[in-house]
Structure 1
Amino acid sequence: MFRRPVIEFATRNVVTASEKDKVLNAMKTMVNLDIRRLPIVRGDKLIGIITMLDILDAIYSWISDKNTEGSLYSDIYMKSVIEIGTRSVISARPETPLGEVIALFLRHNFGSMPIVDETGRLVGIFTEWDVLKVASQLDFPHRVRDVMTRIVYVLTPYSTVMDVLEGITIYKFRRYPIVDETGKVIAMLHAKDVLRYFASDEVIEKIKQGAVEDIVSNYAINIAKSPIFVAKPNDPVIDVVKRMLEYDVGGVPVVNEEGTAVIGMVTEKTLMLLFEGSAE
């Protein structure tokens, strides 16, 4: 499998943004199609990429800047995607072996890789989610404890949207178990829930009115829309992978046997550890 061309495992009908598209339009597209990134094109040539995290980082930076004189709407939402996104994008060719691309993901902590032909034309994109699909086809003997991270950013029912933005930007966490006073997981918040919140018509209207403080002081649990399921350290990894695909989530909290404490997380990135040594 690892010798086969990456294009066989990639998404070919790629949704893109034009370099002149506004960030607001990109947000709406990501939310409506449940995707996390948009390659930026000029014509059919790849010139950059904008991700969900680029947008949330920009929002957090604007809110955190005490010297900002403009408005969040004009300074971020109405900017062109190329101003917020990344211009230097590492890409693969359609014939690049799958194993080589996964090895690059592991080495450089990539979350996606656009695929271009010899003329620079965008012909596909390979993402962490595609790696998850590959993993679901293999027979891994590992248990959750072998791939989980033990560093977890846990929220309470009183954590705010601003707390989440800080966690995303500063600590680079994209998924947040929300626990009650006993330590039980009562909700799951993913970064895509936060993007959906900031892209909603109600929030956009408040932003236009300058009520940014009201928006970020909202409790995070109020915007947590992701499905909940948890794993335990001894669960087979392949079962968790298949449930992640079924539930359309990129991260799962790992709890102790009693279910009273979150002790780790399994994410798309941690699951790539399964490929170490075999993808080259």
Structure 2
Amino acid sequence: MDMFTRPVIEFATRNVVSVQEGEKVVNAIKTMVNLDIRRLPILRGDKLVGIITMLDVLDAIYSWVSDKNAEGSLYSDIYMKSVAEIGTRSVITAKPDTPVGEVISLFLRHNFGSMPIVDEAGRLLGIFTEWDVLKIASELDFPHRVRDVMTRIVYVLTPYSTVMDVLEGITIYKFRRYPIVDETGKVVAMLHAKDLLRFFAADETIDKIKQGAVDEVLNSYAINIAKSPIFLVKAGDPVVDVIRKMLEYDVGGVPVVNEEGTAVVGMVTEKTLMLLFEGSAE
């Protein structure tokens, strides 16, 4: 049987961590951070009614801090809201026997990052994500080089960039990973969106937000919260080697540097690697 015709449930995560629709956002983000996951399906009883993701939370925080007319507090207006108020209600789902190639094609066409799998009654059976696509890609013999799948649009930070700079990059420019470079252009740290979520989930940060010290939080230096591992690739490197290393390091994005290693010239991410499947997954 061709891999792409196999049921998606074979490749999905089955023991899915979920959250009930009335759960507070603060508890959801702590769960995501503690378990190192990016999304939580939202249930009403055992039925899927939505999903809340890391990006939903960060977008909501950015929207609040950018709203000059916002009343109340960041803690009460975001952290203490229910996940159903912050998350996405309209969720595209798959059935367990949907061919995995069909799901990957939907990811490509609609820029999805995940798809819950439900039975006929709407009960959650699993979830298929970009990470699962990466695992499939690691088992295939792609002849491509990094230059074939990298994006040449890169958003880099400096050691003086702030948390607010990262929030803007995530919300406005939709970048989830940031090389932090010194004055020579050398990569000195890597910050992923999950590092930012970890920062906003930390008890120390939450205490400052409760006290109203939101500006202090936003003006924190991004380099101090950048905890993601660093590895760099070059445009001529084999894609299959990069994919396997991404899985080994548990990172969803890698900076591409020039031959001298002195400048970032692109990024390889889970989404750009989807290009490997264009045409073949249909």
- Residue type of the alignment partner of 1:253: P
1:20-169 alignment to 2 at 5 Å?
A: 20-169=22-171
Q: Matched residues, percent identical?
A: 84
Tell me by how many angstroms 1:99 deviates. 0.3
In 1: Cα distance, 2:247 partner to 2:46 partner = 30
Picking from 246, 258, 261, the partner of 1:259 is 261
Q: Deviations over 1:161-210 (max 9, x none)?
A: 00000000001000000000000000000000000000000000000000
Normalized against structure 2, the TM-score is what? Answer: 0.99
User: What are the Cα deviations for residues 68-125 of structure 1, in whole angstroms up to 9, with x where unaligned?
Assistant: 1210000000000000000000000000001000000000000000000111110000
Provide the rounded CA distance (Å) in 1 between the counterparts of 2:149 and 2:276. 7
Find the residue that maps to 1:196 and give its secondary structure: helix
Question: TM-score under structure 1 normalisation?
Answer: 1.00
**C-alpha RMSD of the superposition:** 0.4
Distance in 2, matches of 1:218 and 1:121, equals 42
Residues 27-64 of structure 1: CA deviation (Å, up to 9, x unaligned): 00000000000000011100000000000000011011
The amino acid of 2:5's aligned partner reads R
1:9-28 Cα distance to aligned partner (Å, 9 max, x none): 00000000100000001000
| Deviation of 1:257 (Å) | 0.3
**Mapping for residues 101-250 of structure 1, pairs under 5 Å:** 101-250=103-252
> Can you list the C-alpha shifts for 1:142-165, whole angstroms capped at 9, x where unaligned?
000000000000000000000000
| Paired AA for residue 107 in structure 2 | F
User: How many correspondences in the alignment?
Assistant: 280
Separation in structure 2 between the aligned mates of residue 44 and residue 132 of structure 1, nearest angstrom: 29
Corresponding residue SS for 1:178 = strand
**AA matched with 1:90:** I
Q: For structure 1, list consecutive stretches of 5 or more residues without a partner in the other structure.
A: none
Letter in 2 for 1:109: N
Which consecutive residues of structure 2, in runs of 5 or more, have no partner in the other structure?
none
2:125 aligned partner, one-letter code = V
In 1: Cα distance, 2:156 partner to 2:9 partner: 37
Runs of 4+ aligned structure 1 residues displaced above 3 Å come to none
Deviations 1:222-262 (A, max 9, x none): 00000000110000000000000000000000000000100
Report the Cα offset of residue 221 of structure 1.
Answer: 0.2
In structure 1, distance between residues paired with 2:137 and 2:91:
25
